[in-house]
Structure 1
Amino acid sequence: MSAVSKDPLKRSLLQLECHFTWNLLEQDVDLDNLEEKLDDQTEFFTSNNVLNYNLLSYICHLKNSNVEALRNLQKAEEAAKKNNPDEIDQKSLVTWGNYAWIYYHMERYEEAQTYVSKVENTCKKLSSSAEWKTHLPEIYAEQGWALLKFGRKYFERAKNCFENALKNEPNNPEFNAGYAIATYRLENLSPSAGEDGSSTLKSLKRAVELNPTDTSLMALLALQFQALGRANEGEKYIEEAMQKTPHLPYLLRYAAKFYRKKGEVGKAVKILKKSLEVTPESAFLHHQIGQCYKVMMFQQEKRYLSREEVQNLIQLSIFHFKTATEKNSKFFPAFIDLANMYAKERRYEKAEEAFQKAFQINTLFDDDKQFFYYNYGRFQLCHMKSESEAIKYYLKALKIKEESIGREKSRDSLMKLLGQRIQRGSGNATDFGTLGLVHKLNGEKQEAIKCYEKAIALCPDSEEYLNELCELKLSISN
C-alpha cells in the first residue's frame, strides 16, 4: 500500500473504539502478571471471555507477539458466537478494531482496511445517527473493564465508562457490576476522602441483586459491610458465597481478606492456600498469605512465645512476600512488606535492596511515595539508628500535600521524635526549625511561629528561619 493510501487508513484506525485507542500504557502494568491473571479468568469466568481475549490480544501486541494476538482475537470471535449469538455484531466491534490495528502494525494494510470497513458498516447499521461512529454501551463497558485491569491510575476513567453505559441500560447486570467494582476500588484508594461508604454499599447491593450468581461481588459487598463496622451483615454474604462456589479462587481471596480483618487469621490462611492450589501463580494470593503470617508473628510476640516460632513465621512471610514481588514486578505493597520483614530479621542489606526496588517502580502515586518515605524513615530510625535520616524521610512524606496514611504516620512520628530530642536536651536550632515547618505544613501557624522564634534564639543569623517567621506573621496579619 502506498504512503498516500496508508495515511487515510491511519486516520480511520484512530477513529476506532478499541484497546489501541484507549490510551492503555504499557508502563503502567506488569504485562506478564496481567497476562497470567487474564489466562486464569478465561478459565473461571467464561461469560467474559470476549473481553478477556480482546485484552489479551492487546497485551500480546505490546509484547511484540502479533501472531499470538491474532490467535486471541480468533478466540474472542468464537466466544462471541458461543455466548452471545444474538449480539455478535455489538460484541465484536472491539475485536474487529483490534484486528485492524494488529494487521496495520504487521503492514498487512488491505486486511486492516477490511476490518475498518467492517466496523464502519456495522456501526452505521446499529446507529440511529448519521455518523458511522457510535458509542454503544457495550463498548463503554468493555473499555471500563480494560481500564480496571490496567490499575488504579485508570479507575476514575473506568467508573466514567460504566456510568456512560448505564445511561442507556440502567438495569444491565454487567454494567452495574463494573460500576460497583470501580466505586469500591476508588473508595479503597482514599477511604478518608470524605465518602462515608454508603454510596459504594448501595452500588454493590444493587450489583449483587442483578448478579445473584456472582459470588466475587457478594464478597466485595461483605468487605464493604465490614469496612463500615457491620461485619456480621457482611459475613452472611461470605458464607452464602462460599456455599455457592467453594472452589472459586476470586471468591476465596476476598473471603480470606474478610477473615484476616476479622482476626481469624488461621482460617484466612487455610482459605488462601486452597485458592493457591487453583491459581498458583497469583502474586495477590502470596501477598495475602504473607500478610497473614505477619499478623501471626506480631500475635506470637505479644504472647511472648518462643523466638523459634516467631522466626518461623518471619521466614514464611518473607517467602510469600518475595514470591509476590517475583510474580509482579510492580507490586509496591509487597516490596514494602518484604523490606520490613528483612529488617525484622536484621538482614539490612536485603531490606535496603527491597526498599530501593519499591521506590524504583514507575507507577507510584503520591500516597505510595508518602507510604515509602514513612516506612523507610522508620527503617532508618529503628534499625539503622539514624535520627537525622528518619527526620529527612518523614519530612519528604509531609511535604507531599496529599492526605494519606503515610503522611499522617510520618507527621506523628516526626513530632514524637523531635519532641523527644528537645525534651532530652539534644534539640538544636534545626530541630526547632523542623518542628516549625511541621506545624506550618499542618496549618498550625501560631505553634509554627513559636518554634521559629526558638530556632532564631539558638541561631540568630539564619535567614531561612527569619524569612519563615516573617512570612508566617504576615499571613496572620493579613
Structure 2
Amino acid sequence: MAQTSLKIRLQGLECHFTWKLDYSRSKLQSLRETMIDISNREGVQYSWEGYLYNFLAYLHQALGFTEDALHCLKKAEEAIRQSSQDGVELSLVVHYGNLAWVHYHQGELTESQTYVEKVGRLLRDNPSPCPGVVWGERAWTLNKFDVSKRKAAVYCFRMALKEDPENKVLRCGYAMAFNKSVDRKNITPKLRSEMLEHLRIAKELDPEDLYITVMYLQRLAESGQVEEACKLAKEVIEKPLDSFGGFGILLDFFKDYISHDSSIDLARRTLERHPDSRQLKRHLGKCYKWKIFSPEEKRNPMRHILIENAVNLYEEVVTLYPKSLAVKLELTAMYKESGRLDRADKIFEDLLLEIEGMEPQDLQKFYNWYAQYLFYAKQDASRSIDIHKKAVEIMLPTGQRDSSVRVLLSIVHNGGDRAEEIVDFLDGLDRDGQPAGDSGSAGVKDNSGSPGQAGDSGSPGQAGDSGSAGQAGDSGSAGQAADSGSAGQAGDSGSAGVMGDSGSVGVMGDSGSSGVMGDSGSSWLTQDGLAALAAQDGRETLAAQDGRDTLAALERRKALTALDRQEHL
C-alpha cells in the first residue's frame, strides 16, 4: 500500500488521532499529567481502564514519547480484553486504530497497514459503520478532554446508548457528561431536576463510584436540599477513600456547605492514607488557599501559621508538577501572603525567560497574574498597566483577558494618568475586528481550548460551552471571593483585587470560579464588584481622563454591564 493511500485510510479510522484532539502542547501536557494521576489511583473504574490507557497513549505520542505510547497501548489491550468478555475484538477497533497511527508516525508502514486491515476486517461484518463501543470510547475521551467538547461527548454517549441502552457504564458516563455539559449560569430549575434524576439513577447503578456520588450531592445542594446533601457527604467520608475521582468536587462541597476546616481535615486525612499522592497534596494546597483568602480568615491572628503551611506544601507541589504554570503562580500568591516577595520575584523572573516558548493561553494567563502582582505586591502601577495590555493583545476569549480588560477599564473610569492612552489602545483592538473584553466571542483554532469552540466531528454542529477550557479532572470549584470592594485600581480605595489584599474582590482560585484570580475561567470582579462598578457611573457612561465620553468606551461599558446581568441570571 502506497504511503499516500495508507494515510487516506488512516484518516478514515475512528480513533484518538482522528477525533480532533490536536490542541496546544501545554494543554496536552496538562492532560497527560491528569491522566497519569488517574492511572496511578487505586480503584480505577475497571470498565474505563482501557479507554484511559488508549487516551494516555495518544497524549504520549502527540508529545513525542513513542515508547511510553506503546507501553500504554499494551496496557490498554490487556484491560480491554479483561473487561470485554463478549465482542472483545470489536472493542479493540479504537485501540487498533491508535496502533496504526503510532506505527505510521514511526515510519513503520507495514505494521501500520496491518492494523488498518485489522480494523477493516472487524467492521466489515458489523451492521453499523460506527459500533456502539466506539461511540462510547469517543464519548469518554471527549468528556475528559475539554469543556468545549462536552456537548459533543453527550451526543456520542446518546449514540452509544442507542445500540446498548441497558449498558450501566454508558448510562453512568452519560449522566456525568450531561451534568458537565451546561454552564452553571445556564441551568434552569427544570434542567437541574433532569440532571439530578440522571445522577440519581447512575448512583443506584454504581453506588461505589465516588465521582457520581459527589456530583449528585452537589446537585442536591444546588437544588435547595442542602441538609440531605450534607448528610450524604458525611456518609461518604465515613469509609476510607481509595479512589480520587471527584475528590476535588467533594472538598469544594465541604468548603462551600460545611466549613473550610472540614475540607482541610478531609484532605489531610486522605493524604495520610496515601502519602505519596501528588494529586492529594495539590488538593490540600487548594484547601489551604481557599481558607487563607476567605473573609473570616483575614481577621484570624493565627493566619500566618496557615500561610506557612501552604508555602511549605506548595514548594513541594511545584517539584511534583514541574511543568505546571498554574502551580507556580499559586506559589507566588503564597509567597506574597507570607511577605517573601524575593521568592515570588524569582519565579516571575524565571517565567519571563520562558515566555517565548509559552502557548498563547498560558502566556495570557501569566501576563494577567504578573500584572496584578506588580500592582498589589510591588506597587508598580505603570508597569502593571503595560503587562495588562500584553494580556489583552492576545486575542483569546478567556477569563484572564476579561480580567485585564476590566482592570484597564476601571483605570479609565477613575481618570487615571494613562486613561486616554488605554482608551486609544482598546479602540485599536476594536478596529482590528475583535471587541475588547468580549467574552462571548467565537472560539479560536485548535490551541485555545476556550469557549465557543465549534462542535467536533461526531456532534451535529454543537457549540462549545460558555466558560473556559478548564483542566481535565476534578476542577470546577465555585471559587472563593475575598472581602468586597470596588473595582478601582491605581490607588483607588477598594480595588479589583488580587491575592487576597485587604478590601479586594478577587483572590487566587480555581478553574470555573467567579470573582477570583486563578486558572482559566476565573473573573477578577465578582458579581457584586461588577454591579458596584456599573453603579458608580449610573450604568451609562465611562469618563476618559479629560472628562469626555467616548462612544467606544460607552460600548465597552454596556458590554461589561451585560456581562453583569448575565452572571446574575
Fold match (TM-score > 0.5): yes
Q: 1:298 to 1:35 in 2, by over 3 A?
A: closer
Q: State the partner residue of 2:380.
A: 386
Distance (whole Å) between structure 2 residues aligned to residue 193 and residue 157 of structure 1 = 18
User: What's 1:73 paired with?
Assistant: 73
Structure 1 residue 415 displacement after superposition: 7.0
* C-alpha separation in 2, matches of 1:19 and 1:36: 17
Q: CA contact under 8 A between 1:380 and 1:387: conserved in structure 2?
A: yes
TM-score, L = length of structure 1:
0.74
After superposition, the Cα gap between the structure-2 partners of 1:41 and 1:58, relative to the gap in structure 1 and judged at 3 Å, is farther
- Quote the offset at 1:245 in angstroms: 5.8
Please state if 1:164 is matched with 2:159.
yes
1:327 corresponding residue in structure 2: 320
Aligned partner of 1:223 in structure 2 is 218
CA contact (8 A) 1:84 1:91 kept: yes
Residue equivalent to 2:21:
24
Question: Which whole-Å CA distance do the structure 2 matches of 1:362 and 1:403 have between them?
Answer: 14
Alpha-carbon deviation of 1:20?
2.1
1:119 maps to 119
Partner of 1:143: 138
CA deviation digits over 1:269-327, x for unaligned, max 9? 2322343356556554333212222344356754442xxx4333222222333444443
- C-alpha displacement at 1:194, in angstroms? 6.0
Matched, 1:430 2:424: no
Against the structure 1 CA distance between its residues 43 and 263, is the aligned structure 2 distance closer, same or farther, given a 3 Å change threshold? closer
Q: CA distance change for structure 1 residues 98 and 378 in 2, over 3 Å: closer, same or farther? A: closer
Q: Find the residue that maps to 2:185 and give its secondary structure.
A: coil
Is this contact kept in 2: 1:249–1:278, CA < 8 A?
no
Distance 2:15 2:111 in 1: 17
Equivalent residue for 1:337, pick from 327, 330, 338: 330
Q: Partners of 2:236 and 2:553 in 1: how far apart?
A: 60
Aligned partner of 1:461 in structure 2 is none
Does residue 213 in structure 1 map to residue 208 in structure 2? Answer: yes
State the alpha-carbon separation in 2 of the partners of residues 191 and 404 from structure 1: 15
Q: Deviations over 1:107-147 (max 9, x none)?
A: 4433332322221111122225xxxxx21221122122223
Residue by residue over 1:347-373, the C-alpha shift from the partner in whole angstroms, topping out at 9 and shown as x without a partner, is 3344355567499552738xx95x766
Q: How does 1:83-98 map to 2 (within 5 A)?
A: 83-98=83-98
Q: Distance in 1 between matches of 2:103 and 2:546?
A: 70
Cα pair 1:314 1:345 within 8 Å, conserved: yes
Q: Is the 8 A contact 1:73 1:95 kept in 2?
A: yes
Once the two structures are overlaid, the 10-residue window that deviates more, 206-215 or 293-302, is 293-302
The CA distance in 1 between the partners of 2:221 and 2:179, in whole Å, is 13
In structure 2, the CA distance between the partners of 1:336 and 1:200, relative to structure 1 (3 Å rule), is farther
User: Is contact 2:240–2:270 with CA below 8 Å preserved after alignment?
Assistant: no
C-alpha distance in 2 between matches for 1:469 and 1:314? 40
Deviation, structure 1 residue 22:
1.9
Q: Deviations over 1:37-94 (max 9, x none)?
A: 2432575322322212322333443454544534433333332332221120232111
CA contact 2:89–2:122 (8 Å) conserved in 1 = yes
Q: Return the index of the structure with the highest Cα Rg.
A: 1
Q: 3-state SS of the aligned residue for 2:125?
A: helix
* In structure 1, C-alpha distance between the alignment counterparts of 2:141 and 2:38, rounded to whole Å: 11
Structure 1 residue 219: Cα displacement: 1.1
Confirm or deny: 8 A CA contact 2:408 2:422 kept in the other structure: no
Distance in 2 separating the partners of 1:154 and 1:470 = 35
Structure 1 segment 182-221 matched on structure 2, within 5 A: 182-187=177-182, 190-193=183-186, 198=192, 199-221=194-216
Q: Does residue 287 of structure 2 align to residue 292 of structure 1?
A: yes
Is the contact between residue 429 and residue 455 of structure 1 (CA under 8 Å) also seen in structure 2? no
* Inter-CA distance 362–319: structure 2 relative to 1 (3 Å threshold): farther
Which amino acid in the other structure matches residue 8 of structure 2? R
Pair 1:81–1:432, CA change in 2 (3 A): closer
In the alignment, does 2:44 pair up with 1:51?
Answer: no
Q: Secondary structure at the match of 1:180?
A: helix
The residue aligned with 1:33 is 33
CA distance in 2, matches of 1:238, 1:207: 17
RMSD over aligned CA atoms reads: 4.3
Note the alpha carbon deviations across 1:219-257, whole angstroms, 9 max, x for none.
122223334554323223323434566433335444323
Provide the rounded CA distance (Å) in 2 between the counterparts of 1:23 and 1:470: 40
Q: Which amino acid aligns with 1:345?
A: S
Alpha-carbon distance between aligned partners in 2 of 1:77 and 1:469, rounded to the nearest angstrom: 58
Q: Does 2:167 match 1:175?
A: no
Other-structure match for 1:238: 233
**Alpha-carbon deviation of 1:33?**
1.4
The Cα shift of 1:261 comes to: 2.2
For residue 270 of structure 1, what is the amino acid of its counterpart? D
Q: Is the 8 A contact 1:256 1:272 kept in 2?
A: yes
Alpha-carbon distance in 2 for matches of 1:96, 1:469: 56
Number of positions where the alignment pairs a residue of Structure 1 with one of Structure 2: 441
Cα 1:227/1:61, change in 2 over 3 Å: same
Given that 1:256 and 1:271 are in contact with CA atoms closer than 8 Å, whether structure 2 keeps it comes out as yes
- Which residue does 2:303 correspond to in 1? 310
C-alpha distance in 2, partners of 1:63/1:11? 23
3-state DSSP of counterpart to 1:192: helix
Structure 1 residues 274 and 136 mapped into 2: Cα distance closer, same or farther (>3 Å)?
farther
Unaligned runs of 5+ in 2: 428-434, 439-533, 557-569
**Compared CA separation, residues 372 and 304, structure 1 to 2 (3 A):** same
8 Å contact from structure 2 (residues 199, 216) kept in 1: yes
Q: Which moved more, 1:289-298 or 1:445-454?
A: 445-454
Which amino acid is the alignment partner of residue 209 of structure 2? Answer: D
Cα deviation, 1:143-191, whole Å, max 9, x if unaligned, reads 222233334454343333223323434443322333333344444xx43
Supply the distance in 1 between the matched residues of 2:83 and 2:68 (Cα, whole angstroms): 22
Which is richer in helix? 1
Give distance in 2, aligned partners of 1:373 and 1:77.
43
Question: 2 CA distance for matches of 1:212 and 1:182?
Answer: 17
CA separation in 2, counterparts of 1:271 and 1:230? 22
**Whole-angstrom CA distance in 1 between matches of 2:400 and 2:552:** 27
Q: Which region of structure 1 is more displaced relative to structure 2, 10-19 or 40-49? A: 40-49
Match of 1:262 in 2: 257
1:215–1:245 contact (8 Å) kept in structure 2: no
Once residues 170 and 184 of structure 1 are traced to their aligned partners in structure 2, the CA distance between those partners, rounded to angstroms, is 19
Q: Are the aligned partners of 2:217 and 2:232 in contact in 1 as well (CA < 8 Å)?
A: yes
Which whole-Å CA distance do the structure 1 matches of 2:315 and 2:107 have between them? 42
CA 1:73–1:186: 2 relative to 1, 3 Å: same
> How many percent of aligned residue pairs carry the same amino acid?
24
Task: Say if 1:452 and 1:112 are closer, same or farther in 2 by CA, change over 3 A.
Answer: closer
